[in-house]
Amino acid sequence: MFASLSDSLDKTFRNLRGVGKISEKNITDALKEIRLALLEADVEFTVAKTFIEHVKEKAMGTEVLKAVKPGEQIVKIFHDELAELLGGDQVPLNLEAPARILLCGLNGAGKTTTAAKLAGRLKREGRKPLLVACDLYRPAAIDQLATVGGQVGVPVYTPDTSESDVVKVAQDALSWASNQTHDVLIFDTAGRQEIDERLVQELQRLHSFLTPGETLLVADAATGQGAVSVARHFDEAVSISGIILTKLDSDARGGAALSMRAVTGKPIKYVGEGEKLDQLFEFHPDRMADRILGMGDVVGMVEQVAARIDEKDAMKSMERLASGKFDFYDFLDQMKMISKLGDMKGLMGLLPGFNKIKKQLPDAAFDPKRMKRTEAIVLSMTPDERRRPEIIKASRRRRIAAGSGVDIIEVNRLLKQFGEMRKMMRSPGKMQKMMGGLGGGMPGMGKGKAGKGGFPGMGGFPGLGKGGMPDMSQLGDLGDIDSLLKGLPPKKR
C-alpha cells in the first residue's frame, strides 16, 4: 500500500546518507522532497505541514549536526516522528464488562466483513463474541452478516426484515444475548454513500442507548484525503474510540492511515489486509513506520505464520525433510501449509528490503492458480507414484498430464525440480544450510541475513516458477526468527 511513499522516502534518505556532513540546506532540501512525497501519498495538507515542522525542529539540533553518521540520525528522527504520528504505542480494545463494540462507517468500507473478522479474532483469543445485525437498509446485509458469522463460528442475532427501528433491534438483541454464553457484543450498523443527518441521528440514538465501550470507525484505506473529513464527522457525532483501517493490501497511497490519527486523536486499533476472515491484525505504529521506511515487520510476519501453521505439523514435516524421506505426500502437506499462509507476496512484503527486489519477481511466482495446477499434477498420481516418484516414466507422465489437464512439459518440470529437492535434502551439508538454524517453521529463515541467491530450499520450490525466487541479498537482517517465535505470547504462537 505504501509502495510509492516508501520508494520516495528511500531515494531521499539514500541521498542524505551519501553526504559526509549534514547542513541546514541538506535538511531543508530533503524535507521538501519528503513533504511532496507525503502530499502525493494523500496525507492531509495540515498534517504533512505540521509533521515536517516537527522533524525539522529536531533535525536542526546541534547534536544531530555533530553526529558521526548524520544521515542515519535524520532517518531515526523521521522514524520516531512517523511512529508518533501513527499513534505511538499500540492501543488494545476496551473489553470491560459489559463489553459492547459499535462499528460505524460509510457504505463500502467493509463493516460487515470487518465485524466477522473482529469476532473471529476475539474468539481465537479466548473470548465468546456475539454479532448483532443493525443494518436495516442495505439489501441482504443481515443475511451477509449471518453468513460470515457462521464462517467464523460466531452466533448472530438477525432481526425481522420488517423491523425499522434500530434501537428496538438493539433492545431485542440484548434480550437474546442474555440467554447466550458471551462476553463481547459486536454491533454492525448501516452505512451510506454520503454522510447525512438521518444516519448521524440514528447512530447517536443507538450509541446513546448502548453506551458501548468501543465505537470503532471502519474506514477504507483507499478513500484518500476524503477519509479525514469522514473521520472528523463521525468523531463529532458519536465520539469514536478508535479506527479499523480496511483494504490495507490495496494499491491505495496510504495517506488515510497517516492523517486520520492526527486529525481525530483516536488510535488505529486494527488493519484489514485481505479478504479472508482471519486477515485482521493489530495495528502497531512503530511496526508500520518500519514498513513505510522499508525496514519490514518480521515480528508481524512471524505472528501471522505462527497463527496459521500448526506447530506439531510443521515439526513433523521438518523431521521428514531432515531424514531425507521426502515424497509427494510430504510435498502435498507442504503445499497445504503454504496455502494457509494466504497471500505469500503480501507476507513476504513484511521482510526488510522486500520492496527493493519485488520487481524481480515473476508474476507467476505467487500465483495461487499455479499452485493449484501443481497440486492437480500430484493428485493425478497413484499412491505408489507419490511414494516412489522415480517410477514415473514417459507413459505415466502422459497419463498424469492428461489427468491433471496440463501440458506434459509442466509434469516434467515438476518432477525435475522435485528430484533436485530430494538430492539437496539427502545432503547433510545442504540440508543444514536450508534449515538455517531454525528449529522448525519456515525453511531457510534462520539466523542472520538471507543469503544471496534466495532463501535456501525455496529457490527451486516446485510451483514457484523457473528459477524460483530472485536474488534476495538486498533484504535486511532477519535476526533470529526462532527467538521471535519463543518470545510471542502463548495465544499468538
Cβ-based burial of 156 (10 A; exposed 0-12, middle 13-18, buried ≥19): buried
User: Does residue 235 have a known ligand-binding role?
Assistant: no
User: Does residue 188 have a known ligand-binding role?
Assistant: yes
Q: Which residue has the cell 469476532?
A: 119
User: Does residue 249 have a known ligand-binding role?
Assistant: yes
User: Does residue 189 have a known ligand-binding role?
Assistant: yes
DSSP string over 52-99: HHHHHHHHTSHHHHT-SSHHHHHHHHHHHHHHHHTTSS------PSS-
CA-based R_g, the chain, Å:
26
User: Does residue 248 have a known ligand-binding role?
Assistant: yes
3-state helix, strand, coil in the chain (%, to 5): 55, 10, 35
Q: What is the DSSP letter of 447?
A: S
User: Does residue 105 have a known ligand-binding role?
Assistant: yes
User: Does residue 482 have a known ligand-binding role?
Assistant: no
User: Does residue 109 have a known ligand-binding role?
Assistant: yes
Which grid cell is 112?
460487515
User: Does residue 246 have a known ligand-binding role?
Assistant: yes
Indicate the helix (H) or strand (E) that contains 208: helix 197-210
The beta-strand segments (E) located in 190-342 are 214-220, 242-246, 268-272, 280-282
User: Does residue 247 have a known ligand-binding role?
Assistant: yes
User: Does residue 108 have a known ligand-binding role?
Assistant: yes
Question: If DSSP codes are grouped into helix, strand and coil, which group holds residue 129?
Answer: strand
CA distance 110 to 427: 50
Which grid cell is 2?
505504501
Question: If DSSP codes are grouped into helix, strand and coil, which group holds residue 187?
Answer: strand
Known binding-site residues for GTP equal 105-112, 188-192, 246-249
Known binding-site residues equal 105-112, 188-192, 246-249
